[in-house]
A and B are shown apart, each in its own frame.
Chain A
């Protein structure tokens, strides 16, 4: 075991202080992860097999087996709509909001006149919390007093009435526009930073080779942006899975705005909570989230190995 011996010898060159620092650097994050992520996750999974109203001691928690999951999948009306809304949210962000952010970034990167103003305007919503975004857009969409209906003459006093927030066939799209308003700015800033970092000589070389603007972007610049693409992809997936605030502000996630995160919240807080049932929904959300997380980890670990 020559390797092991070598390692041991190298280890012995560390001073006590070094060792303590190392232990601290490993122990503190490990403790935080275990205490605030692993333990609560495991407790949630355990609670999902129980029935408890959140009042009183642990002795009032009752084991109910798979009842919560059976109810969730077979009887609980908001569950399937919520799941499909989350998927729709993800698709909309992936195929509409994120490309739009990239598009703005490319335009602004060209240094058009007033680019700083455009940047600020597009980035401004990112600084606002989603709860405030929800409030702002409620004012736009409100049926009779809202800006949109008064602009188009579509309040309930008129013939063609559009109930932006109350019609369950429309309200999710209305909310997606509001959420994208913020997401576009976020993606734009990430790509803008990435584009600034692209080596100008690459573009020059492409142009010398006779590539037009589109070819330069698609074949040269975009592939170089790969690290940013992955970050943006991860952010987009995470934002879609944890979508919560706007729909919650608008109507607490009822009537067409059901989302998994809101179902969890509605069952866990309130006057009488269904802690076990809410935990079961949380576990479903966890399982779904594990997909992209594992994909991302595998990729980044493999990239490091290379």
Chain B
């Protein structure tokens, strides 16, 4: 390994020397460098939004940004070989364990020197989510969004529903909706990950943030009775959830809620992407109700942070870091959010006066939470969260909610135990 590294280093050094020669020959060309950016913003709206942010940064830095966009799901699936091959200088990624994992494998470079410049622009929680176990910063936050209960305001006004704050109020409202011929809570888990949001929020409400992160990190056991309590609470809520979740995509469930066939939907605010402009103005949301436990005051919530990482040997490290500094400014984040107003800016100096009421509320809910998690598949090791791991276990539970929970929990713990040490 060491030998190979040295060899690679010398190749890079020669490359740099050649590059330096050619730059000095051209002179002024040093001003407009090129930085490559690997992007998973493949859907229409976020793709246009990201381009707007890059255009803003290109003006600021004078560099040219070449974007290599890959379909969102495929980007994640291939991240491993992508990062080991010839990755772009900067790539889009997610905060938390999911970022630390690739840094720990040597597939990403630290950006602590960038953080020295941008630190004042972020709350400490963002810095924590961007810091690896060795203390280096490895990630630059761009925006985040909360997981909340979203509803169609027009329907609620028409029926006179009130926002529930406790579980009792929530189930009473759901029963009322059922009587009114609505599906109380839209639900979908065909892709395997959306139900993780429900697990997270119930676990944080019932067992608190510390137990939740401990469970994700493997220091708590899945066979713990506390986990049983989560599944039992979930089971009791399933009757007010839309049937047939395992055959439905979150997009379809979101459309049911937007069209007013379903009264509520617990999802990230990205559900708004399914609404057209007129419908989006009609959407409102509230935090998941409290369950009457000692952790109510914590108001724990999933508010995943999306952002950027630096690949392990960027061809243009200086340009890439300039880009990261720019993307860490409110101005760049505002440029993105102007096109895709379903998230809130991560930077403190972002101009919030242009926020829609939807965004203002999202920002308030995140600010009001005392314990912010990322999301199950961002807080634990990727092989555990994947298709044959937690995705399958949660689907198994939803398919047969009355099954023997002890056996299910034992098989989850078994699966964790068979994973190779990292």
Contact = CB atoms under 8 A, between A and B. Distances in A.
A52 to B, nearest CB: 8
Interface string B257-283: 000010000000000000000000000
Given A55-B107, A255-B395, A274 B244 contact: no
Contacts of A156: 183, 242-244, 248
A164 B81 CA distance: 35
Interface of A: 51-57, 59, 62, 64, 71, 75-78, 141-145, 156-157, 161, 163-168, 171, 251-256, 263, 266-267, 269-274, 276
Interface string B388-419: 10011001100100000000000100110011
A57 B4 contact: yes
Contact of A165 (B247, B388, B420, B422): B247
A269 B183 CA distance: 37
Nearest to A72: B418
A164 B382 contact: no
B392 A254 contact: yes
Contact of B192 (A54, A161, A251): A251
Contact of A56 (B106, B192, B256): B106
B386 A266 contact: yes
B248 A144 contact: yes
Contact of B387 (A56, A166, A168, A270): A270
Given A156-B183, A255-B399, A269-B77, A78 B244 contact: no
Interface residues of B, number: 46
B291 interface: no
B173 interface: no
B48 interface: no
Given A56-B105, A157-B261, A269-B78, A263 B388 contact: yes
Interface of B: 1, 4, 76-81, 84, 98, 101, 105-107, 183, 190-192, 242-248, 252, 256, 261, 381-383, 386-388, 391-392, 395-396, 399, 411, 414-415, 418-420, 422
A283 B105 CA distance: 28
Contacts of B245: 166
Contacts of A270: 76-77, 80, 382-383, 386-387
A272 B80 CA distance: 7
The A interface is mostly helix, strand or loop, or mixed, namely loop
The B interface is mostly helix, strand or loop, or mixed, namely helix
Contacts of B76: 270-271
Nearest to B418: A71
Identify the interface centre among A59, A75, A271: most chain B CB within 10 Å of its CB. Answer: A271
Nearest to B189: A166
B112 to A, nearest CB: 23
A143 B419 contact: no
A64 B421 CA distance: 12
Identify the interface centre among B4, B242, B248, B411: most chain A CB within 10 Å of its CB. Answer: B248
A254 B245 CA distance: 14
A171 B246 CA distance: 10
B150 to A, nearest CB: 18
A274 B420 contact: yes
Contact of B190 (A52, A165, A269, A272): A165
Contact of B383 (A64, A255, A256, A273): A273
